[in-house]
Amino acid sequence: MARRIARAGFELHVTARRPAAADALVADGATWHGTARELARHADVVVMVPDLPDVEAVLGGDDGLLAGVDAPTVVVVCSTVSPEGVRALGRRVAEATGGLARLVDAPVSGGEEGAVAGTLSVMMGGHDEDVAVAAPVLAATGTPVHLGPTGAGEVAKACNQMIVAATVLALGEAAVVAERAGLDVRALFDLLGGGYAGSRLMEVKKARLAEHDHSPSGPAQFMVKDLGFAAAEASATGTATPQLDVTRQVFTELTDAGLGDLDTSVVQAYVESLGRER
């Protein structure tokens, strides 16, 4: 994402907890800063991607980002985090800087493939004027869409993860049924991709499911956190979630079984293990 932003013509300033993580960007012309406080003095839009506790650690303290804010700054959180947590963080960021720093939540979907290609779906939440500042920067990474007030982006990402979790579980389960019935799983998904069952996720995952390749990509265990956020927002809005309840249980159980570091397609192996138990 950072490389895409730089290629779009923006002046890129970087810092990282592991300096080596930014070496390639610095080699390409980005300016390195040893602390977030130092970086804050050179950037009007700051894009961050760790979890909320990590974000707060980078924001706070003598060398934190907020200590260096001396002009209007938009802090963009691209992580998948709690909607209520990001709303509360937004209030604290504004209070700590007398309104100079404002927070926009902008989680993304599309994975590493989308980040490299610049085709991410960017789900934005925040005040209109803050989103207007951040959106041109994020447009370098994909398609940013403003969905509502602070937290709206995280709600959108929670909905995205609900759909992804349900779809990949359906794909994994169908793959097991088809294979045990003697079907060619790859040929099946190639065929189904042209009908109502077709989806972007099927296109991306069908080779993995046909080959039982669950090598690490997007770790399945992250779904436990993401679906937990979805469940919390559903509870807050009084929404029944029969599908979410099942997928959340499945991803929790497969993570507890030691499969959480593998790709989400590992639901196939989880379903197979249930069949062996019977």
pLDDT 10s digits, 76-131: 999 999 999 999 999 999 999 999 999 999 999 988 889 999 999 999 999 999 99
- Please list the active-site residues: 157
Residue 278 confidence (pLDDT): 45
Residue-number span of the structural domain to which 70 is assigned: 2-149
Return the CATH number at 186: 1.10.1040.10
The residue with tokens 């300096």 is 19
115 with 208, same domain: the answer is no
Mean pLDDT, the chain, whole residue set: 95
Residue type, 189: F
Res. 275 pLDDT band, cuts 50 70 90: low
180 with 122, same domain: the answer is no
Task: Please tell me the pTM assigned to this model.
Answer: 0.91
Return the CATH number at 83: 3.40.50.720
Q: Number of structural domains, the chain?
A: 2
Q: Which of 101, 124, 149 is the last residue of a domain?
A: 149
Q: What is the pLDDT of residues 181-240, one digit of tens each?
A: 999 999 999 999 999 999 999 999 999 999 999 999 889 999 999 999 999 999 999 999
Residue type, 236: A
d(CA 163, CA 156) in angstroms, rounded, equals 11
Q: What is the pLDDT of residues 7-33, one digit of tens each?
A: 999 999 999 989 999 999 999 999 999
d(CA 202, CA 175) in angstroms, rounded, equals 11
137 with 21, same domain: the answer is yes
